[in-house]
């Protein structure tokens, strides 16, 4: 049963990775990153039940991951709004000041 959960998490992670690499709207990229973080949570909880040493620590770790991800989304959306206000666009391939 453990390997089913791990495979499910791998599928979610790869879909999120494809979205983060190909999408141009920055909000969609943020959503794809959230998908990848969620798949990691699934791994943590699955190992907390079916791992070699089952314990509650995996669930507590996933709670910390969820709260850090919430902070990340808040700051990410705030940066997006500030960028949209100054540049008039939300496409990731137009934010290339650092490359020049």
Partner 1 sequence: MGGFYIDWSGELVAFFAFAVVMIVGAVLMLTLTKVVHMVASLAAVFLGLGGMFVVLEAEFVAFTQVLLYAGAVTILLIFGIMMTDHQAVQREPVRPAHEIVSAVASIVLFGILFYAIRTTEFAPSAPPLQAGVDNAMEIGKQLYTQHVIPFELVSVLLTVAFIGAIVIAKKEAE
- The Cβ of residue 43 has, within 10 Å, a number of other Cβ atoms equal to 19
**End-to-end Cα distance, the chain:** 50
94 is an interface residue for partner 1 by CB under 8 A: no
**Residue 90 DSSP SS3:** coil
**Site map for partner 1, 2-41, x if CB under 8 A?**
xxxxxxx-xxxxxxxxxx-xxxxxxxx-xxx-xx--x--x
Please report, for residues 63, 80, 90, the alpha-carbon distance to residue 87 in angstroms, rounded to integers and kept in the order given: 36, 10, 8
Tell me the closest approach of the beta carbon of residue 92 to partner 1, in angstroms: 12
* Binding residues for partner 1 (CB under 8 A): 1-8, 10-19, 21-28, 30-32, 34-35, 38, 41-42, 45-46, 48-57, 59-60, 62-64, 66-75, 77-82, 84-85, 90
């Amino acid at each position: 049963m453990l390997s089913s959960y791990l495979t499910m998490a791998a599928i979610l992670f790869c879909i999120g990775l494809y979205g983060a690499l190909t999408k141009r709207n920055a909000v969609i990229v943020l959503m794809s990153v959230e998908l990848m973080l969620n798949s990691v949570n699934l791994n943590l909880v699955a190992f907390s039940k079916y791992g070699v040493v089952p314990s509650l620590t995996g669930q507590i770790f996933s709670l910390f991951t969820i709260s850090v991800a919430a902070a990340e989304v808040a700051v990410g959306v705030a940066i997006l709004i500030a960028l949209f206000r100054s540049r008039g666009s939300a496409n990731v391939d137009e934010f290339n000041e650092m490359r020049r």
